[in-house]
Structures are given as C-alpha cells and as structure tokens.
C-alpha cells in the first residue's frame, strides 16, 4: 500500500490560505483534508462551507471532507455537490450510517468511514463493503496539536486484513508527533 500525504487545512494560516494551498499543491500533497465540526459531536468548531469552496477552487487535487458532526448524512449531498471527492462520516454520529454511505456513492464520490479511539473494528465491520476509505483516528477528534496515542498502532495493524478483503484504503488521522517511549 502506498502512502498519501493529506495535509489538514484546519492547521493552515487562513490569512494566507491561497498561498498555503498553492505551496502544498506544489510540494506534492495528494489530498487536501478538511475537518468540519459542529460543537456537538466533538467539542470544537471547524471549517465552514466558504473555506471548502475556496480550497476546492484553488486546487485540482482531491479534497476530502471529515464530518465530525451530528447526523452527517444530512450534509453528504451538499458536500458532494460542492465537489468533495471523499466524504468521511463517523458511524457513531449517524443513526443510519449505511444510508449515508450509500448516498455518498450514489453521488459518485468516495465513501469514507472515520472511527474513533473507542470504536471497535468489530462494531463497524459490516459497513466495510460500503466504503472506499477507512480513517483511523489516533487522537480524540476535534482538536489539532494532540500527541499520537501509541496504542492505536494495534488497531491499525488489525484493520489491514479487512482492507485487503474489502478493497478499501486505510487513512490515519490526528497527532502532531508520536509519543516517546
């Protein structure tokens, strides 16, 4: 499996966003990662639709949307119509995650599932045939600058056979640095 570079726009200098996007584009970023938070599913607020629209217009590279919001299924069509290439939902945040994933695919976008630290793979494995990407969180979602939690390494290793069986890509999200042992 090849590695992808997916810089988080949440960490960008918004006073110079166009320059940041251009520099990341030229540096070889594969996917622009955009976090949307509602202050309910996670205790923080993230990007707005205008931020997404700006980044989408500024690059031809893939742009993903990480919906850390309650009831993400209500918004997948909106982001698909705005040009998101990959849309991640958290299964804990949507009463019908399979329906939300189906809508993403119906809109000809890549369906992504994001799983929190406390989400066991076995509780979401039935959704794996419906996804193109699985994002494993390595921190509690909602804030940038957190330290990588080493115990997630085991979950990442355990997800590889599922990814091979169901043909989805594994993404890892969160953390500025690995903790020192």
Number of domains in the chain: 1
- pTM of this prediction? 0.90
173 among known catalytic residues: yes
35 among known catalytic residues: yes
- Residue 144 is predicted with a pLDDT of 63
- The catalytically annotated residue of 30, 35, 150, 153 is 35
- Residue 149 is predicted with a pLDDT of 62
CB-CB neighbours of 161 under 10 Å: 10
Instruction: Give the torsion sign (CA, 123, 41, 99, 60).
Output: negative
pLDDT (tens digit, 0 to 9) for every residue of the chain, 181 residues total?
A: 577 888 887 777 788 888 999 999 999 999 999 989 888 887 778 788 999 999 999 999 999 999 999 999 999 999 999 999 999 999 999 999 999 999 999 999 999 999 988 899 999 999 999 999 999 988 666 556 656 567 788 999 999 999 999 999 999 876 554 444 4
Question: What range does the domain containing 135 cover?
Answer: 9-178
Residue 159 domain-assigned (yes or no): yes
CATH code of the domain in which 74 resides: 3.20.20.70
Instruction: List the alpha helices (DSSP H) in the chain.
Output: 17-27, 49-58, 76-82, 97-106, 121-124, 152-166
- Residue 180 is predicted with a pLDDT of 46
- Residue 10 is predicted with a pLDDT of 74
Residue 2 domain-assigned (yes or no): no
CB-CB neighbours of 168 under 10 Å: 21
- Residue 31 is predicted with a pLDDT of 94
* Radius of gyration over every alpha carbon of the chain, rounded to an integer in angstroms: 15
- The catalytically annotated residue of 51, 64, 94, 173 is 173
Residue 3 domain-assigned (yes or no): no
Residue 136 domain-assigned (yes or no): yes
């Amino acid at each position: 499996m090849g590695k992808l570079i997916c810089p988080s726009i949440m960490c960008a200098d918004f006073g110079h966003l166009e320059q940041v996007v251009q520099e990341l584009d030229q540096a070889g970023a594969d996917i622009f990662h955009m976090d949307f938070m509602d202050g309910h599913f996670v205790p923080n607020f993230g990007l707005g639709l205008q931020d997404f629209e700006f980044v989408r217009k500024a690059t031809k590279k893939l742009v993903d949307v990480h919906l850390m919001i309650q009831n993400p299924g209500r918004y997948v069509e909106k982001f698909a119509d705005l040009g998101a290439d990959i849309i991640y939902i958290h299964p804990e945040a949507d009463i019908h995650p399979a329906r939300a994933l189906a809508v993403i695919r119906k809109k000809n976008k890549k369906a992504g599932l994001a799983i929190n630290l406390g989400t066991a793979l076995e509780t979401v494995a039935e959704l794996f045939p419906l996804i193109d990407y699985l994002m494993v969180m390595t921190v509690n979602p909602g804030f940038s600058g957190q330290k990588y939690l080493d115990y997630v390494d085991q979950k990442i290793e355990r997800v590889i056979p599922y990814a091979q069986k169901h043909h989805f890509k594994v993404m890892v999200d969160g953390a500025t640095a690995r903790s020192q042992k």
